[in-house]
Structure 1
Amino acid sequence: MRLFTAAQTRAMDGVAIDAGIPAFSLMELAGAGAAAEVRERWPVAGRQVLVACGPGNNGGDGFVIARHLANAGAYVQVLRIGPGKKMTPEAALNLRILHNLALPVFDVPDFEVLGHLVPWFDEADILVDALFGVGLDRAPDGLFAEVIRLFNESPGLRVALDVPSGLDSDCGQPLGETVRADLTVTFGAPKIGLYTSPGFEWCGETVVVDISWPAAAEPEGPGVFLLSDARIQDLLPRRRRSAHKGNFGHVLHWAGSPGKAGAAILAAEASLSMGSGLVTVLCEAGMLPIFMQRFTEIMCEAVSPPDRPVPELGAILAACEGRSVLSIGPGLPVDAACGKLIHELVRKCPIPMVIDASALTLLASRPDTLKKAKVPVIITPHPGEFSRLTGLDTATIQKERVGQARKLATRLGVFVVLKGARTVIAGPDGSVAINPTGNPGMATAGSGDVLTGLVASLLGQGLPPMEAACCAAFLHGRAGDLASQEKGEAVIRATDLLDALPSALASLEL
């Protein structure tokens, strides 16, 4: 599903109007569709419904839903917040219809009047937020901020029209006081901020209502997409009946060091579990006994003697011959010698690379090295590693995850998997995907190493880099969700993700 910015949705609305669809008709479709979504979920006959309307078109949508819910038997009260502000012609016409039908509409010009109405918020079974739409670019203040606070304190069900008031519909950041909705009914097209982090937490369930925008109104060029079961089903590779292990890639992991063998083990086992035909861990000779005691199906290859934890570049390049993909980073030492080798390896590696963990930290001194790679590169930073690569603080990154991931991908010419709630995957062409799977229980040691192994496996099996990253992120999160259902979020371990991966794949009904 493609997601859109506020500017894009306003442009699509304009295309519809220019095509001859009246703005009044668009408003009617929006409000009527929202009413239908409410009625589909909850009984409304005989229920108390409070609709708070702002002065713009979002308020007009509120007038329409109020009429339809009243027609369905609800006891509806409409509040016009800040009634002195000029309304659009379409909103004014819908207000006049409410007056003609003798439906109760109350003007709320100031705090004194609002104070008398506080019990209405507490008594409402359903509250409809029609204060602000996608055009909001500042924190709600004054009377509007107080209405939002009363909404959030009410025990009733909260429904937001188009966007929860107070939420930035592009980046998903609360601008100030923000409605915390149980249901968000968005109009025409889904907005990015409703699906990325932290915006999705304010929306409750989100549903899109068709308001008859022409298909031709959709903008061209790279877009932002929300991953889904159906999309991942289409992308994942199928196995021919005549296939053999050589058809499914040979993944190399240069990973692990004394005290950090677990990172390499998790990454390698994730690659094997994801279907790689062959998996080899490259390590110093002193690590071989540790790995060989653990591995059965996975191979190990020493690329340096025990007294030299950092191998020669030639040893790594030689190991790449005939292999499909190289993953570097999990559990590697963070020192100058290793950093020098990683910068050289990025420039000369002959096979696609997946870079994570320590390798990203070591590349942060000269991230432009990534521009010199001769092969596709996927990097999988968490916000801290992303901060080191860009020089931005994590708060800035988290405020605009989609935009920042896209900027880094296009600047360095790599594929970026920005980990965290609603992981963002960005390609060097500007395309972006948001992953809806996963949960806070996955914020645990080794979880990222598992993701690295999944990405490397799918890349080695022949998926294009963007598709490999998207499938890996989605399945990683789905495995975490299944592990959470079985054990609870607080006790998930990275090995639980490996155990749940077969069920995650089975959930897609491949």
Structure 2
Amino acid sequence: MPATLNRKVYTTAQIRAAEQQAVTHLKVSLSQLMQRAAHACLQRLQAQQPAPARVVVLCGPGNNGGDGWVLARLAQQAGYQVQVFAVTPRSDLAQLAAQAWHDSGGISHPLAAFNPTHREQSDVVVDAVFGSGLNRSVTEQFADCIAVLNTQPRRCWVLSIDIPSGLNSDTGRPCPIAVRADWTVSFIALTLGLVTGQAAHYCGHIELAELGIASCLRSQQPVLEVIDASTVVHSLPARAKTAHKGDFGHVVVIGGGPGMSGAAILAGQAVLRCGAGKVSIACHPTSQLAIAAAQPEFMVHAVTDSVSLLLSKADVVVIGPGLGQSEWAQQLVIAVADWDGTVVWDADGLNLLAALALLKPANSEWVMTPHPGEAGRLLGTSTAAVEQDRWHALTQICQNFQAHALLKGAGTLVQSVTHPTGWVCRRGSPALATGGSGDVLSGVVAALLAQRLPIPDALVTAVWLHAVAGELASCDGERGTIASDLLLPLRQLSNPAQWSAEIRSVINIEDVCKKPLI
């Protein structure tokens, strides 16, 4: 699954190395890069708010502040009404940029003087306080400034240069506060902190300006690739006219403990709507009637302790939706953990896997679909620790269990033990924050695996389908969307050869290979 450079994600260290390589090999100075960065921000400013709009620029002590000083001068020359609030510049480039601003007749005020009145009387506030590389807590002076900028309601439009100030550029974690931007202009290539952690809450729309030196990254291995619609188009071609159900696999869903039949039903329905040939549900005897009544296409089996016969007929097993953690559930987990097949672990399947310390058989393939809480239990740590560095947590799960895995949440991450680069999904909706949504996702993953997609392709495609289904399902409102609302859009999205004009519009399919869907 190749990706253009603007869909690749790197570490901050890799971006820094690219800058130095540009200086050495392309003979581009850091001062020239600062000028190019400021010009890119000016173009965005002009597209959003034409002159003579009122612009406030907040400048920090380093080179990010230098970008702000240069932008202030360029904006003033372009006819904007510009005010600068700044701390004393410390880096050489920032000092030169500040001097050029003052030499052009500009004045500046202390950053501490920025207050809600300045914010409300401006059309645009430019955040150039901290750039990428921040790995310490924001001190009180800067935290106060960020808090003033973030206070709601606000009428101004906020543009962050490089990354919202206070956001860690490798984890997407606020330190502990960060600017909430409407738009972020980032440079050279995307970093992890723009697409993971809390990035979606702070970055707004992300625009990438490569500054003419992106070629310096082409020799480096990206950490992540951004998932787009082209993955689905390539993974789910139109079916052969002679196809039959045996071509599309048999999925066995193991779950539906006492009082929890709904989770197994949702997972099984997602398997069906995403195209698997057959679905069996192995459930607790008390749930058999409810599950059978919910979907006539299910083959429903009440099991007590043994699922060996069903396992022998399965192409893929999903274990966990509504499973519970009873002795009955533990026996089923032990049996599945010993099976030499493809298993999708979810929900209480993951919790029991962690509690029982079970290991993967050499000939089996395990796919794990945890949310941060389940990921914490798999790693013996807390949910908060996982959220501090989501990508690190996911790679640890893959290594510890020799499994393929995804980590759910805003900016769902995917990692495969067979692929050097992971993936991130930037699509989705808060409507997915509802009970049963994860059960649906495990069913989507299993359906694609049953249709014989390679595991990395199945995971990446499933995450995108699930995320965009959430967008479509919430068109009438995010609040009140429920997991079963995802089933119809999942069916539509799983058939890219039949996408309607409306769906293509939501997906923005014409731009898939032209620009990042971020």
TM-score (norm 1): 0.89
Distance 1:285 1:79 in 2: 68
Give the 5 Å matches for 1:111-190.
111=112, 114=113, 119-153=117-151, 155-190=155-190
Distance 2:321 2:103 in 1: 68
Distance change >3 Å, CA 120–CA 263, structure 1 → 2: closer
Give 2:43's match in structure 1, choosing from 36, 44, 58.
36
Unaligned runs of 5+ in 2: 1-6, 510-518
Distance change >3 Å, CA 51–CA 265, structure 1 → 2: same
Deviation of 1:61 after TM superposition, in Å, equals 1.0
> In the alignment, what sits opposite 2:312?
321
Give 1:407's match in structure 2, choosing from 387, 396, 403.
396
Distance 1:162 1:333 in 2: 45
Give 2:101's match in structure 1, choosing from 87, 92, 98.
98
Which stretch of structure 1 is more off in the superposition, 490-499 or 226-235?
226-235
> In the alignment, what sits opposite 1:334?
325
> In the alignment, what sits opposite 1:457?
447
Which stretch of structure 1 is more off in the superposition, 353-362 or 282-291?
282-291
Which stretch of structure 1 is more off in the superposition, 426-435 or 69-78?
426-435
Check whether the contact 1:79–1:105 (CA below 8 A) recurs between aligned residues: no
Size of the aligned set, in residue pairs, is: 489
Which stretch of structure 1 is more off in the superposition, 491-500 or 266-275?
491-500
Unaligned runs of 5+ in 1: none
Check whether the contact 1:451–1:473 (CA below 8 A) recurs between aligned residues: yes
Give the 5 Å matches for 1:18-33.
18-19=24-25, 20-33=27-40
Distance 1:155 1:288 in 2: 56
Q: SS of the residue aligned with 1:452?
A: helix
Distance 2:147 2:348 in 1: 44
Distance change >3 Å, CA 407–CA 157, structure 1 → 2: same
Distance change >3 Å, CA 292–CA 155, structure 1 → 2: closer
Check whether the contact 2:441–2:466 (CA below 8 A) recurs between aligned residues: yes
Check whether the contact 1:284–1:310 (CA below 8 A) recurs between aligned residues: no
Distance change >3 Å, CA 451–CA 118, structure 1 → 2: closer
The alignment yields a C-alpha RMSD, in angstroms, of 2.4
Distance 1:286 1:403 in 2: 41
Which stretch of structure 1 is more off in the superposition, 229-238 or 405-414?
229-238
Distance change >3 Å, CA 371–CA 301, structure 1 → 2: closer
Distance 1:343 1:222 in 2: 37
Counterpart amino acid of residue 144 in structure 2: E
Deviation of 1:70 after TM superposition, in Å, equals 1.9
Distance change >3 Å, CA 168–CA 286, structure 1 → 2: closer
Which stretch of structure 1 is more off in the superposition, 202-211 or 218-227?
218-227
Counterpart amino acid of residue 185 in structure 1: V
> In the alignment, what sits opposite 1:469?
459
Give 2:422's match in structure 1, choosing from 422, 427, 432.
432
Give the 5 Å matches for 1:259-270.
259-270=259-270
Check whether the contact 2:10–2:222 (CA below 8 A) recurs between aligned residues: no
Deviation of 1:287 after TM superposition, in Å, equals 4.9
Give the 5 Å matches for 1:333-482.
333-347=324-338, 349-367=339-357, 369-428=358-417, 429=419, 431-482=421-472
Q: SS of the residue aligned with 1:477?
A: helix
Distance change >3 Å, CA 321–CA 151, structure 1 → 2: same
Deviation of 1:422 after TM superposition, in Å, equals 2.3
Counterpart amino acid of residue 72 in structure 1: A
Check whether the contact 1:267–1:330 (CA below 8 A) recurs between aligned residues: yes
Q: SS of the residue aligned with 1:489?
A: coil
Distance 2:283 2:166 in 1: 52
Check whether the contact 2:164–2:179 (CA below 8 A) recurs between aligned residues: yes
Which stretch of structure 1 is more off in the superposition, 336-345 or 402-411?
336-345
